[in-house]
């Protein structure tokens, strides 16, 4: 297997990585539905891909989640559900961009942590702001709920980064270059 992975072109590796993120989004969508850890996905995309590609990956992850929700989980098609679906997409892209900004400023482990925290803070802050603007519901932003959401996002973030590192190791590449050598 490592011989096969090591002979793949960079473009093919990026395509496989995109497919893995989208597949993970689909799998997670069946378990978490609208609570998909989009901040974790956005931070991973920002750390492992160039800016444009990271935004495209984040959009694809969001789209896969929405497709599962509407096609298989039977999300209602009322105005508010459609609004929130679109809002989550925009918020995920803003989370990715904030993660990317910090990843470009800080490198290594500190950059990864900063990117994740930026994505999470932007994501949750915008969810809270939109919730407050559209009516009741802000009361569910309690410390236990936000902590649980944080841990779910952190777990997804860590698992996806470990998957990326495992793929780099299987391809006989320097694992640190799987993140640090992404084009800007």
Closest CA to 184 of 119, 84, 111, 89: 111
pLDDT tens digits in sequence order for the chain, 184 residues long: 444 555 567 888 899 999 999 999 999 999 877 789 999 999 999 999 999 999 999 999 999 999 999 999 999 999 999 999 999 999 999 999 999 999 999 989 999 999 999 999 999 999 999 988 987 766 677 889 899 999 999 999 999 999 998 888 877 666 565 554 454 4
Q: Which pLDDT does position 10 carry in this prediction?
A: 81
Q: CB of 38 within 8 A of CB of 88?
A: yes
Own/partner contacts of 159-163, CB < 8 Å, gap of 24 or more, are 160/21, 160/24, 160/40, 160/41, 160/44, 161/44, 161/47, 161/48, 161/112, 163/20, 163/24
Q: Which pLDDT does position 2 carry in this prediction?
A: 45
Place of tokens 């998957």: 163
Give me 103's structure tokens.
Answer: 């990843």
Give the DSSP letter of residue 137.
-
Q: CB of 40 within 8 A of CB of 154?
A: yes
Q: Which pLDDT does position 177 carry in this prediction?
A: 59
Closest CA to 20 of 50, 48, 39, 1: 48
Q: Which pLDDT does position 31 carry in this prediction?
A: 87
Q: Which pLDDT does position 184 carry in this prediction?
A: 47
Give the DSSP letter of residue 139.
G
Q: How far is CA 92 from CA 57, 119, 162, in A?
A: 10, 8, 21
Angle formed at CA 66 by CA 64 and CA 69, multiple of 5 degrees: 110
């Amino acid at each position: 297997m490592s011989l096969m992975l090591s002979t793949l072109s960079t473009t093919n590796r990026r395509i496989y990585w995109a497919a893995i993120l989208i597949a993970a989004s689909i799998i997670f969508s069946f378990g978490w539905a609208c609570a998909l850890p989009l901040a974790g996905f956005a931070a991973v995309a920002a750390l492992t891909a160039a800016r444009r590609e990271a935004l495209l990956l984040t959009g694809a992850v969001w789209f896969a989640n929405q497709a599962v929700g509407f096609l298989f989980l039977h999300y209602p098609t009322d105005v508010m559900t459609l609004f929130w679906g679109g809002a989550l997409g925009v918020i995920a892209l803003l989370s990715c961009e904030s993660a990317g900004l910090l990843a470009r400023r800080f490198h290594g482990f500190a950059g990864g942590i900063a990117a994740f925290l930026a994505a999470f803070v932007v994501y949750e802050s915008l969810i809270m702001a939109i919730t407050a603007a559209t009516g009741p519901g802000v009361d569910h932003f309690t410390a236990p709920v936000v902590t649980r959401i944080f841990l779910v996002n952190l777990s997804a973030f860590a698992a996806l980064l470990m998957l990326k590192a495992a793929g780099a190791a299987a391809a006989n590449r320097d694992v640190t270059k799987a993140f640090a050598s992404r084009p800007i």
